[in-house]
Amino acid sequence: MEERAKEMQEQERRIKIRMAKIKHKLAILSGKGGVGKSTIAANLAIALARKGYKVGVLDVDIHGPSIPKILGIRGRELATGPPGIFPAKGPLDIRVVSMDFLLPDDETPVIWRGPMKMGAIRQFLADVAWGNLDFLLIDLPPGTGDEPLSIMQLISDIDGILMITAPSEVSQIVVKRAIGFTRELRVPLVGVIENMSGFVCPKCGAEFDILGIGGGQKISEELGVPFLGKIPIDQRICEDSDRGTPFIIEHAETPAAKAFMQVVDKVEGYLKQRGTQA
Amino acid sequence: MEERAKEMQEQERRIKIRMAKIKHKLAILSGKGGVGKSTIAANLAIALARKGYKVGVLDVDIHGPSIPKILGIRGRELATGPPGIFPAKGPLDIRVVSMDFLLPDDETPVIWRGPMKMGAIRQFLADVAWGNLDFLLIDLPPGTGDEPLSIMQLISDIDGILMITAPSEVSQIVVKRAIGFTRELRVPLVGVIENMSGFVCPKCGAEFDILGIGGGQKISEELGVPFLGKIPIDQRICEDSDRGTPFIIEHAETPAAKAFMQVVDKVEGYLKQRGTQA
């Protein structure tokens, strides 16, 4: 038992050393599933890499990892060397670690309880040779359980959380609890992003609030947290994600891509204001 | 330690007795979040109750419980008496148990690791006085971790799993792993439902595959599992869920409601075929 404790201490020491080489750590959280966390994390990584930053993405969705698919790098293998496990390299030299690289096929489930997941996350942080990065984006799974809790406890200097919500009231309630989670753990919140906000018919131009509208703004006002913007529904986002091509590059001129770039500017502004400019 | 083991044995005995009074247990799973598990669970409950069945819904989404909101019964309290904890009563006498009833407000998060969640689920099954039911629908959270694992281990005679997917490829990969999960645990699968499948512009009638189309059918063919149908995107589903009024009653004549009722028929057909007609 004592040996196990020593081993964990040693692991935490390694995590500290690895994390000290990364200037900014941002986590993407929601509480709710299917609101576009992974799509936003992947596109944010691309946007930052295009600005010249060195970027890594840690996909903490152990059961349903989607980052490799969205970045078009499924099937890669993680090499290992003396410095540790090397992340896979995605577009624009983005470094990616995901459970998806460790699974033999699409049908293999990850049937793990909390402690197993905690173990995997500890390893991702302690043994991956991320190297010197400007940004590590951490894509969290739905819920406020083991995975986000482990991340918040293991990385003591997270710069902030990006909270993603869909516009619906059902989503808002879940996301409010996730904001409560960040407050209870005293992790700073960058702000709220409303995703899948309204739909403009590409044929007739009529606007529809398919999944509602305004939920992010409402949360922001009610709970006094910054609002980072709303990204409209655009079927090309889904198509690009399925194809593994970054939407914000492929469709840079769309309202959705522009809304997205405004979010990126606000994230940079947030870091500047905190005095921790990348 | 021995006392704890005895206590758990005693709890499992109580679970057996409670569950024996319920004819059919169906679990709604996806692996992926935000694909409409809770909306489908709530509307399935309504559809079954309208056919005269006695129905209960157990909301196992500990971090993001949504069933009470969708059924319009938020804010209820769970009473306790000598037989145990009484479920809240929803429309058409549907009995509902959810973490949502136990939380003081919208901002309180449930920051629980796996073992805490396991404890809550054990209690929901062992101590809730469901009474005699025809159906217990179990709404599971995203992922294939603690919550679904606990349910599958504690209820030995689940009639089947309804697997929900969105049409996108990103969703398909996650859902395939969830099907792998049911196979590994040897729990029967009723079939796959494709939700949010295509969108018809209410103004001009043009059709768009906002979140893709055909993903459910594809999974069904690839993995050889029954396909239960696809439910198109309809913004009234979201509006009704936010209002807490059942979509399939409020908008019975829509293609989405009709698609949904076909799913219900197939579920009944499945149970009939298994020789366990309700």
pLDDT, tens digit (0-9, with 9 covering 90-100), for B94-124: 999 999 999 999 999 999 999 999 999 999 9
CA-nearest residue to A39 within chain B is: B170
Residue A239 lies in a domain: yes
State residue A215's pLDDT score.
94
Of A70, A113, A204, Cβ closest to residue B204? A204
Residue A160 lies in a domain: yes
Distance CA A41, CA A43 (A): 6
State residue A25's pLDDT score.
98
Computed on alpha carbons and rounded to an integer, the radius of gyration of chain B in Å comes to: 18
**pLDDT reading at A278 higher than 70:** no
State residue B277's pLDDT score.
54
pLDDT one-digit tens code per residue, B179-213: 999 999 999 999 999 999 999 898 998 989 999 88
Is there a contact between B252 and B238 (Cβ–Cβ < 8 Å)? no
- H/E element holding B55? strand B55-59
Of A109, A166, A242, Cβ closest to residue B170? A242
Residue B3 lies in a domain: no
Model pTM score: 0.95
Question: What is each CA distance from A230 to A14, A71, A194, B135, in whole angstroms?
Answer: 38, 22, 4, 40
Q: Which of B39, B168, B192 is most worth mutating to test chain A (most A CB atoms within 10 A of its CB)?
A: B168
What is the token pair recorded at B182? 């049911």
The CA distance from B132 to the nearest CA of chain A, in Å, is: 30
Q: Which of B38, B106, B147 is most worth mutating to test chain A (most A CB atoms within 10 A of its CB)?
A: B106
Cβ neighbours of A210 in B, within 8 Å: 199, 210, 233, 235, 238
* Domain total of chain B: 1
B257: domain range? 10-272
Residue A2 lies in a domain: no
**CATH for A218:** 3.40.50.300
Of B31, B33, B109, Cβ closest to residue A180? B109
What is the token pair recorded at A226? 């910054």
State residue A157's pLDDT score.
95
State residue B278's pLDDT score.
53
Cβ neighbours of B235 in A, within 8 Å: 208-211
Residue A4 lies in a domain: no
Distance CA A230, CA A241 (A): 19
State residue B212's pLDDT score.
87
Taking alpha carbons only, the member of A27, A91, A247 closest to residue B170 is A247
Paired sense of beta strands B55-59 and B88-89, if any: unpaired
pLDDT class of A177 with cuts at 50, 70, 90:
very high
Mean pLDDT of B248-262: 95
Q: Evaluate the CA torsion angle A250, A255, A256, A258 in order and state its sign.
A: positive
* Count helices and strands in chain A by DSSP H and E runs: 10, 12
Distance CA A135, CA A122 (A): 19
pLDDT class of B1 with cuts at 50, 70, 90:
low
Residues of chain B with pLDDT > 90, as a percent, come to 93
Mean pLDDT of A184-209: 94
Mean pLDDT of B78-96: 97
Phi, psi values for residue B221, rounded to 5°: -70, -45
**pLDDT reading at A277 higher than 80:** no
A vs B, Cβ pairs < 8 A, gives: 219
Residue A3 lies in a domain: no
In this prediction the ipTM stands at 0.93
State residue A1's pLDDT score.
65
**pLDDT reading at A165 higher than 90:** yes
Q: Say whether B38 and A223 touch across the interface (CB within 8 A).
A: no
pLDDT class of A230 with cuts at 50, 70, 90:
very high
Phi, psi values for residue A107, rounded to 5°: -95, -10
Residue A83 lies in a domain: yes
The CA distance from A277 to the nearest CA of chain B, in Å, is: 31
The CA distance from B258 to the nearest CA of chain A, in Å, is: 19
Residue B5 lies in a domain: no
Question: DSSP characters for A186-234?
Answer: T--EEEEEEES--EE-TTT--EE-BTBS-HHHHHHHHHT--EEEEE---
Is there a contact between A35 and B34 (Cβ–Cβ < 8 Å)? yes
- H/E element holding A13? helix A2-20
Q: Say whether B177 and A209 touch across the interface (CB within 8 A).
A: no
